[in-house]
Amino acid sequence: MTTHADLAEVSDHRIVADWALGEWADRLLEQAGLGVTIVDRHGTVMYYNKWASEHLDRQPGYLGHSVYERHHRKITNPRFDAMFKLLIDGRTEPVHYVARPYGKTTLLVTVSPIRIDGELVGLSQLVLLKDEVQQLFARFDATGRESFERDMLPNGYPDA
């Protein structure tokens, strides 16, 4: 079993000593501002966050059931199998792709392996809506960071 000291974030000095990420991890997943779904190594849906239930088709009946049961397009399960095989075979980098599973909503998807003690135990799927991302980039391209700063600092910069 991995101890706190064995975790890469500890040995790479990317976490405060003696603080366990698990203390906040569930809140991070729930409040991330993007869709999060976790599937175990057998394809069973173990978790999805509130954003996923509001923007995707996630429903309580999906929990504990195979993700394969929810894929409606003929090509989706073979693609999922191919991606899963990459991860089982040792791929450590996330898989990024664009999908349009609901006909008109385009999604930006990142699937990452979840490994414990080197063993693939599942995967995480992070989802953003393409339209929302494009709107943010268009706003930035048009105004730079100023419009974002106005939203965050409506009274201007505090006196230094």
Instruction: Record the pTM.
Output: 0.83
The structural domains of the chain, with segments of one domain joined by +, span 1-31, 33-127
What are the tens digits of pLDDT across the range 85-134?
999 999 999 999 998 887 788 999 999 999 988 899 999 999 999 999 99
Among 78, 73, 77, 44, smallest CA distance to 61 is for 44
Give, in order, the Cα–Cα distances in Å from 41 to each of 2, 19, 85, 139: 19, 28, 10, 40
Confirm or reject CATH 3.30.450.20 for domain 33-127, answering yes or no. Answer: yes
What are the tens digits of pLDDT across the range 6-61?
677 777 878 787 777 787 888 888 999 999 999 999 999 999 999 999 999 888 99
Question: Given the structure tokens 């898989």, which residue do they identify?
Answer: 95
What does DSSP assign to residue 22? Answer: H
CB 44 within 8 A of CB 65: yes
What are the tens digits of pLDDT across the range 59-90?
899 999 998 888 777 888 888 889 889 999 99
